[in-house]
Amino acid sequence: MGSPFDVAWIAAHLSDILGKLIEHIELTLLAVGIGFVIAFPVGIYCFRHRKVYPPVTWVTGILYTIPSLAFFVLLIPALGISIVNVEVALVSYTLLILIRNVVAGLEGVSEDTKDAAKGMGLTRGQILWKVEVPLALPVIVAGIRIALVTTIGLVTVSALLGYGGLGFFILDGFGNYFATPVLVGSVLSALLAVVADWGMLALERWLTPWRGGGRLQVST
Amino acid sequence: MITLDKVSKRFPGQDGFAVTDLSLQVDDGELVVLVGPSGCGKTTTMRMINRLIEPTSGRIAVDGRDVMEQDPVQLRRGIGYVIQSVGLMPHRTVGENIATVPRLVGWDERRIRERIQELVEMFALDGGLIGRYPSELSGGQRQRVGVARALAADPPVMLMDEPFAAVDPIVRERLQEQFLDIQARLRKTIVFVTHDIDEAIKLADRIAILNVGGVLEQYARPEELLRAPASDFVRDFVGPEPGLKRLSLMSVADIDVEAGPVVHPDAAADEAVAAMEPFGLDWATVLDPEGRVLGWVDRADVTGRARVGDADVKRFAAYVTSGSSLRSALDAIVSNRTQVAVVVDEQERYRGILSLEAVAKEIIT
């Protein structure tokens, strides 16, 4: 290996690095976005029809346990080596987390609040959108937070299929016995995960002013 | 007016009835309290009125219209609803919570704002609370907001399930007084559920005592319930000291006061004694020229004095006014060494005295 931290290489590859960073973000947001679009209605359906929830958890649980590399490879016969292959795998991983948090969030809404809302004449739909979903938001957003951070990590693995964002540098560096790209890829993807985590925390506080989170200082 | 006609409720998978063949009528502007032990179906009965629970048989009508023939959502918007835990929406401010039903029925924003202001004043809440979230309120404030919210769209009928149960006794008493004042002005038709017989006696125009299984034991005015309990169950449920409880329902204004012996400080000793004699007492109340009570003197005090004012004028331990309950009058009687309650007006001017016999006469039947 050469010098572990080659500034000249970084300077020469700035636009590459930026491009892969953006790709990494795009792959992540696409996966979590699609995952949420699926998980949110499924979660609401499971909340209202409890019998559906165990099988849904079972299926998403199995998807979640497949090792990521194996998943990407297993999908090759059906989907080839493509961005679709990568996204199908990434989306599958988000489902368990997202559906579980949507259901848990809705379940956490106090029966008394719902009873009072029903007694005042809110319809079923109004109770869902004006009471249950807003009050479930903290838990739902927490789910999105975990899904984002997990997916940012998984995208680096999908570099093996050629759609890996910052993972490309890690793979490339190892291939060439050159540490700098490995460092750049690892540090940037880790930083991305941290930034996403903080961003979602801020979003959660902003969405739930009633919890007094904005005024409380973190003391722990 | 709310009418329950032979209403029964049996929950699926349960052997017994939660409510059995219950018939009850709540007149317009009347506050009826459903009271009974747990399992007596009082909450179930209340919740059938706005169809949160549907009866197994029988008919419930609000203002003559069968609730089962109405759209449940529209029905509920026309009936105020308060529950024990209040159920304020934690993600909505106090103002938004109060605005819930007016928004649902399509009031314009200006009218809603005026209504919020009006209710906040009616319940003596600080106007600054309108923009606060429920978690920032005290227990008592939350309960008041809950009742204010139920009144927001001015429904003629209100259902209240232990609305004051979650606060400490001192706050509860204050909330009850305030609620009675507001109800005296608004005259809503109210079904109020509680397990606390004292709360029922204090608030109700009529009380329906329910036994386990939703069996109606007695439906009567509080005074009648205490005077003539219809069964041993009612007698037990009403609890100890029914006589004292009845006295607390009556006020000094309800009975005649006796003139009693009075004397001025400038009167001679013989005049004081002469004032006492017609009443068979050996003491007299001393009044100043404006008729205000200075205290009392007995025969021994004035003996040998040139004027009453030279004697040692003793103070009464307690006074009552015409608004006081007979229960507090009784307390004054046993607290004063003269064994009477002295009745005064707002300016502490003498009105007369109440003896133990006069008060006791009211509870002997």
The answer to the question of residue A179 being in a domain is yes
SS3 call for A208:
coil
pLDDT at B159 over 80: yes
The answer to the question of residue A2 being in a domain is no
Query: Which percentage of chain A shows pLDDT scores above 70?
Result: 95
Mean pLDDT across B295-318: 85
Residue of B nearest to A134 (CA): B91
B130–chain A nearest CA distance, Å: 13
Would you call B73 and A119 a contact, using CB atoms and an 8 Å cutoff?
no
Residue of A nearest to B74 (CA): A121
With b for 16 or more beta-carbon neighbours within 10 A and e for fewer, the A179-201 pattern comes to bbbbbbbbebbeebbeebeeebe
Tens digit of pLDDT for each residue in B179-188? 999 999 999 9
Tell the residue number behind the tokens 């004697």, with chain if given.
B311
Task: Please tell me the predicted confidence (pLDDT) of residue B335.
Answer: 87
The answer to the question of residue A216 being in a domain is no
Task: Please tell me the predicted confidence (pLDDT) of residue B365.
Answer: 61
3-state secondary structure chain B: CEEEEEEEECCCCCCCCCEEEEEEEECCCCEEEEECCCCCCHHHHHHHHCCCCCCCEEEEEECCEEHHHCCHHHHHHCEEEECCCCCCCCCCCHHHHHCHHHHHCCCCHHHHHHHHHHHHHHCCCCHHHHHCCHHHCCHHHHHHHHHHHHHCCCCCEEEEECCCCCCCHHHHHHHHHHHHHHHHHHCCEEEEEECCHHHHHHHCCEEEEEECCCEEEEEECHHHHHHCCCCHHHHHHHCCCHHHHHHHHCEHHHCCCECCCEECCCCCHHHHHHHHHHHCCCEEEEECCCCEEEEEEEHHHHCCCCCHHHCCCECCCCEECCCCEHHHHHHHHHHCCCCEEEEECCCCEEEEEEEHHHHHHHHCC
CA pair distance B68, B61, nearest whole angstrom: 8
Band of residue B311 on the pLDDT scale cut at 50, 70, 90: confident
Task: Please tell me the predicted confidence (pLDDT) of residue B112.
Answer: 96
Between A and B, how many CB-CB pairs are < 8 A?
A: 73
The answer to the question of residue A219 being in a domain is no
pLDDT at A185 over 90: no
| DSSP letter assigned to residue A187 | H
Domain with A157 in it: what CATH number?
1.10.3720.10
Tens digit of pLDDT for each residue in A43-86? 999 999 999 999 999 999 988 888 888 888 888 888 888 888 88
Task: Please tell me the predicted confidence (pLDDT) of residue A2.
Answer: 52
Residue from the list A112, A121, A126 with its beta carbon closest to the beta carbon of B83: A112
pLDDT at B277 over 60: yes
Mean pLDDT across B223-251: 89
A109–chain B nearest CA distance, Å: 10
The widest CA-to-CA distance across chain A, in whole angstroms, is 72
Domains along the sequence of chain B with CATH: 2-240 (3.40.50.300), 254-363 (3.10.580.10)
Of A47, A28, A216, the closest CA to residue A139 belongs to: A47
CA pair distance B184, B180, nearest whole angstrom: 6
Tell me the one-letter amino acid at A112: D
Of B227, B202, B244, B240, the closest CA to residue B330 belongs to: B244
Tell me the one-letter amino acid at A189: S
Would you call B75 and A121 a contact, using CB atoms and an 8 Å cutoff?
yes
The total of structural domains in chain A comes to 1
pLDDT at A220 over 50: no
Q: Are A20 and A169 in contact (CB under 8 A)?
A: yes
Q: Which of A106, A110, A112, A120 to mutate to test the interface with B (most CBs of B within 10 A)?
A: A120
Q: Which two tokens stand for residue B324?
A: 């006081």
The answer to the question of residue A155 being in a domain is yes
A103–chain B nearest CA distance, Å: 19
Mean pLDDT across B123-150: 92
pLDDT at A167 over 80: yes
A19 is in which domain, residue-wise? Answer: 7-211
- ipTM of the complex, rounded to two decimals: 0.78
Q: Are B40 and B24 in contact (CB under 8 A)?
A: no
pLDDT at B161 over 60: yes
Cβ–Cβ contact B54 with A under 8 A: no
The answer to the question of residue A145 being in a domain is yes
Mean pLDDT across B142-162: 94
Which pTM value belongs to this model?
Answer: 0.79
The answer to the question of residue A217 being in a domain is no
The answer to the question of residue A218 being in a domain is no
